Structure 1
Amino acid sequence: MAEVYAEYARALLDVMPFDRAMFGVFAELVRDAGLGAVGDLGCGPGRLTAHLASLGVDAFGVDLSPVMIEIARRTHPELRFEVGSMDALDVPDGSLGGVLAYYSIIHAPPEHVPAFLAEFHRVLAPGGHLLLGFFAEDRSGFVVEPFDHKVSLAYRWSPDHMAGLLRQAGFAMNASLVREPAANERFQQAYLLAVKPAGTGG
């Protein structure tokens, strides 16, 4: 599946203007803060790591799949990619200027997600930024719902619920975007931009 996905996703960003806009804002905030590199967590074949690098961000990728990391290294030999788990990163406390988690927590059972968010908070420097992308449902009363993803069981979240978890993990919200599904998509897509407040410990 890794090779198939890498080919499928290679040019997706070209037809996703809302996503590009969020990446542009995120990259600008990270550059202006000047607090360190960005970890693209759950980077897959590295396409977004490379996109961030093209926006002037010092970015590296981490993924649980050795095959994905092999593809990323082959496709983007100028960038750094490592095998690792998002809830146990080999990164010192407070050492990153940004974290991108773009559809990389969608397969995690809801009870595991707070541990991922806590790890993102740990590795970010105070003033560092987080951009989170996931499948969404923005109707009242919706919290979380599993669905049949092509890879494995995945979950949709209420953006408000996810924002609440981010606040519980110590983040402050900066912006949120919920867009309607494109022609080839089934669900709304959500993007949350948060910051680890300055003066916060590692």
Structure 2
Amino acid sequence: MDSPSHLRATAQAYDAVAVRYAELVRDALDGLPLDRAVLAAFAELVRTAGGGPVADMGCGPGWVTAHLRDLGLDAFGIDLSPAMIALAREAYPDLRFEVGSMLAPGLADGRLRGIVSWYSLIHLPPPEVPSYLAGFRRMLAPGGHLLLGFFESGGGPVAAFDHKVTTAHRWPIDGLAASAREAGFVEIGRMLREPCEGERFRRGRLLMRNGEHPG
């Protein structure tokens, strides 16, 4: 079955800029201490819960996947863009990367201990986001953790904007948190940070737990 048109368009857009994009983001976390802190908190929660596989959904060229590995996680990446996955495999040959959709990565339900979606839900049509959050919950083991990174709308409604690669959306942090709760997640914490130099929008981070607790 063919992918929906917006998924094909997103993959093609990232294929077209893959090399340049990889160059821009490869060392991006070096200058973002708050982002590193959120990723470190996520990693500690996963490790404390016993560890296990963690999926970087929409991994692009693999920079966040590699950072999660360096934080002690059993991380692997999934992305729609074959060009991005090729670059990730070249840069990090010790890690696993697969071409695929965030909703259909070929994983059994309840297998993952963590999911990171770092600026990947932003390209979905907003009405589809709840189904992706529900899919993340199905893939997570009871008590597994989810970290969402996204552009925040400043408290206003969901808003499309001219992302440099392809159409994207800014989300109100309360609205995205509510969608995650409706999908069965429990909020652990959140962070808003103001734009750094060269950034246009405020950034949001939501740290959630699968509401099903281990038996």
TM-score bracket, shorter-length normalisation? over 0.9
In the alignment, is residue 103 of structure 1 matched against residue 88 of structure 2? Answer: no
Residue aligning to 1:176: 190
Residue aligning to 2:54: 38
Render the CA deviation track for 1:72-100: whole Å, top value 9, x for unaligned: 00000000000110122210000000000
Q: Kindly indicate whether the alpha-carbon contact (under 8 Å) linking 2:56 and 2:75 is maintained by their aligned counterparts in 1.
A: yes
Residue aligning to 1:8: 24
In the alignment, is residue 137 of structure 1 matched against residue 153 of structure 2? Answer: yes
1:143, distance to aligned residue in structure 2 (A) = 2.0
Q: Kindly indicate whether the alpha-carbon contact (under 8 Å) linking 1:93 and 1:124 is maintained by their aligned counterparts in 2.
A: yes
Give secondary structure in 2 for the equivalent of 1:50: helix
TM-score relative to the length of structure 1: 0.96
Give secondary structure in 2 for the equivalent of 1:52: helix
TM-score relative to the length of structure 2: 0.90
Distance (Å, rounded) in 2 between the aligned partners of 1:200 and 1:164: 23
Residue aligning to 1:21: 37
Distance (Å, rounded) in 2 between the aligned partners of 1:13 and 1:29: 20
Equivalent residue letter for 2:99 = V
Within a 5 Å distance, the mapping from 1:29-108 to structure 2 comes to 29-108=45-124
Q: Kindly indicate whether the alpha-carbon contact (under 8 Å) linking 2:147 and 2:206 is maintained by their aligned counterparts in 1.
A: yes
**Partner residue of 2:209 out of 183, 195, 198:** 195
Number of aligned positions between the proteins: 199
Render the CA deviation track for 1:155-174: whole Å, top value 9, x for unaligned: 00000000000000000000
Distance (Å, rounded) in 2 between the aligned partners of 1:171 and 1:44: 25
- Identical amino acids, percent of aligned pairs: 54
- Over 4 Å off, 4+ runs: none
Looking at secondary structure, tell me which structure has more helix per residue. 2
Within a 5 Å distance, the mapping from 1:112-127 to structure 2 comes to 112-127=128-143
Distance (Å, rounded) in 2 between the aligned partners of 1:29 and 1:199: 14
1:35, distance to aligned residue in structure 2 (A) = 4.7
Task: Report the aligned-residue RMSD.
Answer: 1.2
